[in-house]
């Protein structure tokens, strides 16, 4: 590891940011009716606007990378700085003081797919992609879910058949975020239906521009279309692009999913800024509800729930920082976040009444509709609420496992849809 203290590194980061970005103006006290009333945390942009935003994000990553700030903890051979998590957090804290492009397009690419390539690809494939992914020259998507396989991911049916030094992939994936903006994808395929369902799977890195790949947009109720259906019709992938051993794809998928949960947990503080007490109070005051005992009681409960979730996450993250393993706190983080968001948007909808359903131009009202429509998706992404409850029941409370797990019957003999993880 290079010999630079966290303080020295933070100074380097600040010098880079001073030279390349605007300082964020100091946060002002929230005043009803002033500034933007935007509250959506869910993307509802059209595809042109999304592509433009992706270009800005890529340019920023390139600049960071070329100044040695693109992959702070990564190996030097891929352009990383080989520094500690503390250095990375120091950079994030300094960058937060500046106005820089949103990095949403890299969430899956760098938060989930790149760590899986680092863990499971052969060195030549790591060489081929990791530098480009961290420099923002490439984006990667996650091709796991299928029309009949979401929670029960191991029942997926997209098949890969070996043909000499290549594999031929045929099947359909769905809900693939950012597939249309991605150069490569991490795909899990069935390679041996004679094996039990978790055992006959293999992971690959697939070229999203290869002949036989067709990407079709799916429109969400928020108005956005950042999901896709992806069809594979005899798409050829070199064996070198295999992730891990043949039929060991479940382990590969778990690497990706563990990174997904860790990033959701880390970001699961509950959006306390957006849901700050000042904003809550200003809304109630404006609508003459700040003396209503029931509404006040509910507002206090919401604020407490978000605050408890934030502290719980902080406890889990502090434990990880101190070298411990993620504990039960993280299993509840996503559940707490989605429960709190649901309760909050339902409460806002009650306070605003019909103003949330019709765009009258009134400040701070209809803007909430995007949020209201986006929250159900969060309760599904990265493991549904019910699956999270199963995990908490089994792994935290030690309750008996869900019945119906079959780890011996060959996949081809299973009635798909009846066997669960």
Query: Which positions touch ligand FAD (CB under 6 A)?
Result: 108, 141-145, 150-151, 175-177, 377, 380-381, 384, 386-387, 390, 402, 420
Residue 240 or residue 384: which is nearer to ligand FAD going by CB? 384
Least spacing, CB of residue 372 vs ligand FAD, in Å: 15
Residue 126 or residue 228: which is nearer to ligand FAD going by CB? 228
Least spacing, CB of residue 313 vs ligand FAD, in Å: 20
Least spacing, CB of residue 310 vs ligand FAD, in Å: 22
Residue 81 or residue 180: which is nearer to ligand FAD going by CB? 180
Least spacing, CB of residue 131 vs ligand FAD, in Å: 23
Q: How many CA atoms lie within 13 A of 219 on its CB side?
A: 4
Q: Cα 274–278–282 angle (5° rounding)?
A: 105
Least spacing, CB of residue 37 vs ligand FAD, in Å: 24
Residue 100 or residue 202: which is nearer to ligand FAD going by CB? 202
Residue 106 or residue 144: which is nearer to ligand FAD going by CB? 144
Residue in the shown chain whose Cβ atom is closest to ligand FAD: 150
Sign of torsion over alpha carbons 359, 360, 363, 368: negative
Least spacing, CB of residue 112 vs ligand FAD, in Å: 9
What contacts 304, CB < 8 A, 6 or more positions away? none
Contact between residue 204 and residue 117 where contact means Cβ atoms under 8 Å apart: no
């Amino acid at each position: 590891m290079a010999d630079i203290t966290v303080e020295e590194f933070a100074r380097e980061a600040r010098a880079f940011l001073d030279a390349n970005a605007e300082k964020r103006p100091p946060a002002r006290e929230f005043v009803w009716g002033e500034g933007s009333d935007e509250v959506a945390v869910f993307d509802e942009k059209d595809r042109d606007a999304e592509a433009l935003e992706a270009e800005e994000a890529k340019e920023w990553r390139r600049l960071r990378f070329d100044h040695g700030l693109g992959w702070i903890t990564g190996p030097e051979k891929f352009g990383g700085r080989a520094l500690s998590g503390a250095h990375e957090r120091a950079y994030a804290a300094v960058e937060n003081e500046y106005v820089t492009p949103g990095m949403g397009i890299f969430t899956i690419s760098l938060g989930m797919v790149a760590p899986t390539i680092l863990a499971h690809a052969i060195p030549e494939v790591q060489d081929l992609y990791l530098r480009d992914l961290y420099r923002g020259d490439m984006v990667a998507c996650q091709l796991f879910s299928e029309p009949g396989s979401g929670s029960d991911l191991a029942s997926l049916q997209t098949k890969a058949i070996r043909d000499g030094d290549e594999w031929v992939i045929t099947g359909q994936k769905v809900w693939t975020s950012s597939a249309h903006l991605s150069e490569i994808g991490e795909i899990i395929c069935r390679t041996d239906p004679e094996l039990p369902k978790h055992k006959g799977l293999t992971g690959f890195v697939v070229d999203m521009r290869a002949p036989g790949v067709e990407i079709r947009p799916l429109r969400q109720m928020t108005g956005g279309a950042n999901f896709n259906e992806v069809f594979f019709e005899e798409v050829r992938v070199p064996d070198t692009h295999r992730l891990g051993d043949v039929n060991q794809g479940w382990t590969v998928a778990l690497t990706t999913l563990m990174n997904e949960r860790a990033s959701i947990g880390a970001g699961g503080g509950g959006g306390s800024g957006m849901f700050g007490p000042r904003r809550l109070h200003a809304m109630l005051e404006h609508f003459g509800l700040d003396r209503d005992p029931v509404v006040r009681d509910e507002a206090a409960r919401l604020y407490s729930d978000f605050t408890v979730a934030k502290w719980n996450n902080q406890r889990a993250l502090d434990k990880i920082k101190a070298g411990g393993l993620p504990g039960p706190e993280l299993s509840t983080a996503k559940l707490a976040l989605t429960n709190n968001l649901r309760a909050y948007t339902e409460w806002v909808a009650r306070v605003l009444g019909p103003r949330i359903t019709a765009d009258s131009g009134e400040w701070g009202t209809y803007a909430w509709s995007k949020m209201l429509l986006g929250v159900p998706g969060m309760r599904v992404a990265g493991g549904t609420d019910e699956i999270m409850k199963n995990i908490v029941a089994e792994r935290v409370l030690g309750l008996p496992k869900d019945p119906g797990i079959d780890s011996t019957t060959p996949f081809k003999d299973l009635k798909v849809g009846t066997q669960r993880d």
